[in-house]
Amino acid sequence: MSLPPDRLETRLPDAKPLYSDSQAAVEASRCLYCEDAPCIAACPTGIDVPTFIRKIGTGNIRGAARTILSANVLGYSCARVCPVEVLCAGACVYNAWDRDPPIAIGRLQRYATESMLGAGVAVELLSRAPANGKRVACVGAGPASLACASYLALEGFAVTVHEQRALAGGLNTSGVAPYKMPADDALDEVEFVRALGVEIRTGVEIAPGPTAEALLRDFDAVFLGAGLGADARLGIPGEDGAGVVGAVAWIERMKLGTEALRAEVRSAVVIGGGNTAIDAARELAGLGVPKVSMLYRRTTREMSGYAHELELARLAGVVLVERAVPERFVRDPDGALTAVELASGDLHRCELAVVAIGQAKLRALAECFPGVVLDDRGSLVADPRSGRTGHPRVFAGGDAVHGGELVVTAVQDGKRAARSICAALGIEIRPDSPMRAGHE
């Protein structure tokens, strides 16, 4: 599947454009190369931030990329999508002085990695062990699976990723706010993963029965990193029909196509208080919808969305309505959406309602493999340190285990599971393997 060049997301400008060489050099020169660098501890994958910044400062961009990609093989997309304000940059010592802003670690990381995604460069950057004769299947092609697959391929495994959808990359491709990273940039990273030796098959569904049994028969180990399912629904009257859509579905249509927004939409509501809700609201405002409101059932203090992201949405013109509990969608005699009625009796006029209250769990995954079970929230049960499930050859990580988490935590899950798979299959990890870099 190729992306249409005029898809809606291309109308939203890059919020943090790529640094020029001189901008990167100036920013790198501000880093103090702290000995006990808190930015390393704050990165879930443990990227050696001061080391890669020092390499940028000396013009060793390739070395900087190697430092980043060893600890976090998806360090490019993480540079684009990580909430650095609450991770590495949030921990930077500059914050304590309240004079200069913290080091723009995400932008420097993007600068170091963006030009390194080409196939030839990728292979040169990260050392690859000879084939070890073991085969691993990954289910899903989101960040957890792509990370697990990449590290294993570098260690000599033959890895095949099975993805149900037409495009690989998971939410990096279909769900990330365009002003952070458009879909074509996410697909560049997918090509980088292929260049590391990973086979990616799209349009392949793994379900209970023959397809799952074949994985256990044909592969030495299986990693489940399939993420989450369809948007959750409110279950209130009027929800079925035109004008009401789940947030993940709407964002995907906006990122990959041209038809997600009708020209006549003058007012839209987004229902929810998480980061996906904030993204959808900001995107609607950025695409020119004159009136965009977020309806949240509690107060700002209780929102799971980041405060800095909400502030940016407000600056884009989004209005937050607190303690707003939708009771029903109101439609005209022709069935067109006209409003959301709240429990308070208030009516919020809208032609489009985007429901962002979470995603369903892919419960059927647990039925694919004996010993793999769900917890009481419907997530796969896996040991957080190793990714081990109740089946000795099946491992899991990412959103399928944790619910909606960060890309960078999914990457760390994939790396940990790759280490566990090596141990389970008796493959010793090389002393200089990229898999050894970063946090345990």
Interface residue with ligand SF4 among 4, 15, 26, 33 (CB under 6 A) is 33
197: left (phi over 0), alpha (psi -120 to 50) or beta: left
**Segment interacting with ligand SF4 (CB under 6 A) among 34-42, 63-71, 78-86, 366-374:** 34-42
Residue span binding ligand SF4 (CB under 6 A) among the ranges 28-36, 171-179, 193-201, 401-409: 28-36
Cα end-to-end distance, the chain, whole Å: 37
CA 36 – CA 80 distance, rounded (Å): 25
Report the 10 Å Cβ neighbour count for 409: 18
Sheet of strand 199-202: strand arrangement = 199-202, 158-163, 135-139, 221-224, 394-396
Q: Is 78 helix (H, G, I), strand (E, B) or coil?
A: helix
CB nearer to ligand SF4: pick between 64 and 352: 64
Parallel/antiparallel/unpaired status of strands 291-295 and 221-224: unpaired
**Residue 36 Cβ vs ligand SF4, minimum distance, rounded to whole Å:** 9
Residue 314 or 439 with smaller CB distance to ligand SF4 = 439
Residue 194 CA, chain-centre distance (Å), reads: 18
Residue count, binding to ligand SF4 (CB under 6 A): 14
Concatenated DSSP letters of 276-303: HHHHHHHHHHHTT-SEEEEE-SS-GGG-
Looking at residue 223, the DSSP 8-state letter turns out to be E
Q: Among 24, 43, 82, 103, which residue interacts with ligand SF4 (rule: CB under 6 A)?
A: 103
Give the other-Cβ count within 10 Å of 217's Cβ: 8
- Tell me how far, at minimum, the Cβ of 27 lies from ligand SF4, in Å: 10
> In this structure, is the dihedral angle defined by the CA atoms of residues 113, 115, 119 and 122, taken in order, positive or negative?
negative
Cβ partners under 8 Å of residue 112, min gap 6: 52, 55, 56, 61, 64, 65, 68
Answer yes or no: are the C-beta atoms of 181 and 75 closer than 8 Å: no
- Among 3, 25, 86, 93, indicate the residue that binds ligand SF4 (CB under 6 A): 93
**38 interacts with ligand SF4 by CB under 6 A:** yes
Neighbours of 36 (CB within 10 A): 7
Element holding 187 (H helix, E strand): helix 183-195
Which lies closer to ligand SF4 via its Cβ, residue 92 or residue 154? 92
Minimum distance from residue 306 beta carbon to ligand SF4 (Å) = 20
To ligand SF4, the closest distance from the beta carbon of 53 in angstroms equals 6
By C-beta, is 103 or 292 nearer to ligand SF4?
103
Q: Applying CB under 6 A, which of residues 12, 69, 82, 92 lies at the interface with ligand SF4?
A: 92
Asked if residue 15 binds ligand SF4 (CB under 6 A), the reply is no
Residue closer to ligand SF4 by CB (options 35, 376) is: 35
Decide: is 105 part of the binding site for ligand SF4 (CB under 6 A): yes
Q: Which of 15, 18, 26, 34 is in the footprint of ligand SF4 by CB under 6 A?
A: 34
| Closer residue to ligand SF4 in complex, CB, 11/94 | 94
| 31 touches ligand SF4 by CB under 6 A | yes
Does 307 interact with ligand SF4 (rule: CB under 6 A)?
Answer: no
Say whether residue 277 binds ligand SF4 (CB under 6 A): no
Q: How far is the CB of 102 from ligand SF4 (least distance, A)?
A: 6
And the tokens for 389?
């499930």
Does residue number 63 form part of the binding site for ligand SF4 (CB under 6 A)? no
Does 86 sit near ligand SF4 (CB under 6 A)?
no
What gap in Å lies between CA 310 and CA 160, rounded to an integer? 39
- What the block records as the tokens of 2 is 């190729």
The one-letter amino acid code at 224 reads L
Quick count: other Cβ atoms within 10 Å of Cβ 100? 9
Task: Give the nearest distance from C-beta 50 to ligand SF4 in angstroms.
Answer: 4
49 binds ligand SF4 (CB under 6 A): yes
- Binding flag, residue 50, ligand SF4 (CB under 6 A): yes
User: Which of the stretches 21-29, 33-41, 354-362, 375-383 binds ligand SF4 when contact is defined by CB under 6 A?
Assistant: 33-41
Distances (CA, A) of 439 to 6, 248, 409, 436: 41, 31, 11, 8
- In the complex with ligand SF4, the residue whose CB is nearer, 87 or 171, is 87
- Part in contact with ligand SF4 (CB under 6 A); list of ranges 13-21, 86-94, 396-404, 428-436: 86-94
- Contact between 364 and ligand SF4 by CB under 6 A: the answer reads no
The sign of the torsion formed by the CA atoms of 147, 149, 153, 155 equals positive
Q: Which is nearer to ligand SF4, 33 or 363 (CB)?
A: 33
Q: Which residues bind ligand SF4 (CB under 6 A)?
A: 31-34, 37-39, 49-50, 92-94, 103, 105
